[in-house]
Structure 1
Amino acid sequence: MKVTVCQFDNRAQKVEDSFLSLVEHVQRHNSEFVLVPEMSFSPWLAASNQPTAEAWVKAAETHEKMIARLDEFGAKAVMGTRPAVDLGRRRNRAYLWQENRDLTDFHDKWNLPDEEDYWEATWYDRGDKLFSTARYNDVRIGVTICTEMWFFEHARAYAKQKAHLLCVPRATPHGSTEKWLAGGRAAAVVSGAYCLSSNLYNPKDEGDNLGGLGWVIDPEGNVLATATPEEPFVTVEIDIDFAEKSKKTYPRYVAD
C-alpha cells in the first residue's frame, strides 16, 4: 500500500499552490492513502489568543470547499482534521475521506495545549475522549492529533484495537522537529502500527511558527521517509501485514 505524507504551507497566499503541488505528487506516485496536516487548508487559527466566531466560520467553510476537492488527488483515501461545530461547541475534528463514500468524522481532539502560538484550548473545546479506529477497506486507522501523540496510552489503546496505521496530523513549531520525530518512533513501537505524520509549514519568520517535517515510521520504529523543506511530499510503500503481525511481538503482546 502506497502512502503519502507531507509538510504543507498553509499561508493564505500559498494554500492553493501547496494543494496543487501535492495533487501532482500523489498522482505521479499513484499513492493510495494521503495524510494532510492538522487544519491544513486555512491559516493556523491558534496562532492568535483572540478567537473570533468570524475567523472560525471562515476556516470551516474553507476546509469544506477544499475537502470537496480531495478527489483531485486520485487517491483512494485522505485523512486530516478540520474546524467543526457540534451543538454550539467548536471542535478540531479528524475526518477520513474515501473515494465514492460520504465523509467520515471519527475523533475530536482531546488533549489541547494553550500557549504562545498554540492557543488551542482558547479557540475550541475538547472532544469526548473517544479514540476509536476508522476503516479504509480492511485497513484499521487510528489518529492522535498532534499533542495527543505524547499521551502514549492512546497508542497502546490503538494497539489493542489492532490499528494498522497511526496517523498524527500536526501543527508544531520550528526547532522541535527532532523531538517530534523521536515521539513518532515511540508511538509506532507502542502501537505496533505504521506511524504517519504530516505537519504545517511556514518558512521561519515568514508566517506562523509552523516548523514542518512529516514522516513514515514502521512498527519497529524505523524511519522509512521524512518530508522536509527540500522534499515536502514523500510517498513510500508499506506492508499492512507487517503491522498485523506486529501486534503479537514485543512490546505489544505484554499484558498491562
Structure 2
Amino acid sequence: MRVTVCELPDSLVDETWENLVRHVRKEQSELVVLPEMPACPWFASMSRFDERVWQEALQAHDALMTRLDELTPATVISTRPVQDGAYRLNQAFFWNEGYCAIRTKYYLPDEEGFYEASWFHRGEKDFTVFRTRGIAIGVLICSELMFNEWARLYGKQGAHIIAVPRATERKTLDRWLVALRMAAIVSGAFVLSSNRVGKSGDAGGVEFGGCGWIISPEGDVLASTSRSKPFITMDIDLNEAVCAKRTYPRYIPE
C-alpha cells in the first residue's frame, strides 16, 4: 500500500495544498494522513473560547472538505472541529468518496499553547478500529498517543495502521517520536503521523515541529518529512502488520 505523511504550515494556504495534491497524484498514494485540524490556524493556544474564532474554524474546515476529492482516489484521514448541538468536538474522519466520521478526541490538554479543554468537549472513550478497502485502521488524535493502552487495543483488534494526526511543538519532537515508536511496538501496526510546522500566528506563539513519520510495526523509522521534503510517500506491506501480531510483545495475553 502506498501511504503519504506530511508537515503543513499552521495556516494552510492554496499553494501548499496544490503542492500536496500534485505530490499525491504523482506518487499515486492510496492513503494520506493530514495533521490535526489542518484548515485553520491553531486557535487552542488562546485560553478563552471565542465564538467568532470557532465559527471561522468551522467554515475553514467546511471549505477544505470540498477539496478533498482532489486527492482521489486516496483515502484521507485527519480531524476537524465540529458543532454537535451544544457540544464542540474535535472529530477524526476519513474521506473516501465522501465524509465519514470515525471518533472524537477524548484526551484534551489544558496548558499554555494547548487550551483544548477550554475549546472542546470530551468525546466518547471509543477506540474501535474502522475498516476501509479491507484495511483495519485505528486513529489516535495527538495527545491520545501518550496513552499506550489504546495502541495496544488497536493491535488486539487487528489494526494494520494507526494514524496519528498531530499539532505538536518543535521542542518536544523527541518525546513524540518515542511515543510513536512505542505505539507501533505494542500494537504491531504501522504508525503514520503528520504534523503542523512553523510558528502559529496568534499571541500564543506555538512553534510546531513538523516531522511527519512512517513507523514500522517493529518501531523502526522508515521515513520522515522535513522542511525541504514536506511530503513523503512510500510503499508498506500490510502483511508485516499481520505477522507482527504473533511476535513479542504483541502475543502476550492481558
Partner of 1:18: 16
For residues 149-187 of structure 1, the C-alpha deviation after alignment (integer angstroms, 9 at most, x for no partner) is 010010011011111110110000121112211111110
Which stretch shifts more, 213-222 or 17-26? 17-26
Cα distance in structure 2, aligned partners of 1:84 and 1:205: 22
| Cα shift at 1:75 | 3.5
Cα distance in structure 2, aligned partners of 1:126 and 1:205: 26
CA contact (8 A) 1:9 1:202 kept: yes
**Which among 146, 165, 172 is matched to residue 168 of structure 2?**
172
* SS across alignment from 1:202: strand
**Which among 159, 175, 181 is matched to residue 185 of structure 1?**
181
Cα distance in structure 2, aligned partners of 1:155 and 1:80: 17
How do 1:61-76 residues align onto structure 2 when only pairs under 5 Å count?
61-76=59-74
Cα distance in structure 2, aligned partners of 1:21 and 1:203: 20
Partner of 1:97: 95
Partner of 1:28: 26
* SS across alignment from 2:101: strand
How do 1:118-197 residues align onto structure 2 when only pairs under 5 Å count?
118-197=114-193
Q: Gaps spanning 5+ residues in structure 1: where?
A: none
Letter in 2 for 1:36: L
CA RMSD of aligned residues (A): 1.5
CA contact (8 A) 2:10 2:199 kept: no
Which contiguous aligned blocks of 4+ residues in structure 1 show a shift greater than 6 angstroms? none
Partner of 2:42: 44
Cα distance in structure 2, aligned partners of 1:203 and 1:229: 13
**Residues 138 and 82 of structure 1: CA distance in aligned 2, closer, same or farther (over 3 Å):** same
Cα distance in structure 1, aligned partners of 2:207 and 2:88: 23
Letter in 2 for 1:56: W
* SS across alignment from 1:114: coil
* SS across alignment from 1:175: helix
CA contact (8 A) 1:47 1:208 kept: yes
For residues 171-224 of structure 1, the C-alpha deviation after alignment (integer angstroms, 9 at most, x for no partner) is 001211122111111101111100000001125899642221110001001111
Partner of 2:5: 5
| Cα shift at 1:10 | 2.7
CA contact (8 A) 1:15 1:42 kept: no
**Which among 48, 58, 61 is matched to residue 60 of structure 1?**
58
Q: Gaps spanning 5+ residues in structure 2: where?
A: none
**Which among 211, 226, 229 is matched to residue 228 of structure 1?**
226
Letter in 2 for 1:90: R
Partner of 2:208: 210
Cα distance in structure 2, aligned partners of 1:216 and 1:105: 23
* SS across alignment from 2:209: coil
CA contact (8 A) 2:215 2:223 kept: yes
CA contact (8 A) 1:10 1:18 kept: no
How many pairs does the alignment contain?
252
Which stretch shifts more, 206-215 or 235-244? 206-215
What is the TM-score when the length of structure 2 is the normalising length? 0.95
Letter in 2 for 1:9: P
For residues 9-63 of structure 1, the C-alpha deviation after alignment (integer angstroms, 9 at most, x for no partner) is 132xx52222111111111111110000000010011011121122112111211
Identity %: 42
What is the TM-score when the length of structure 1 is the normalising length? 0.94
Which stretch shifts more, 206-215 or 155-164? 206-215
| Cα shift at 1:74 | 3.1
Cα distance in structure 2, aligned partners of 1:112 and 1:49: 13
CA contact (8 A) 1:133 1:141 kept: yes
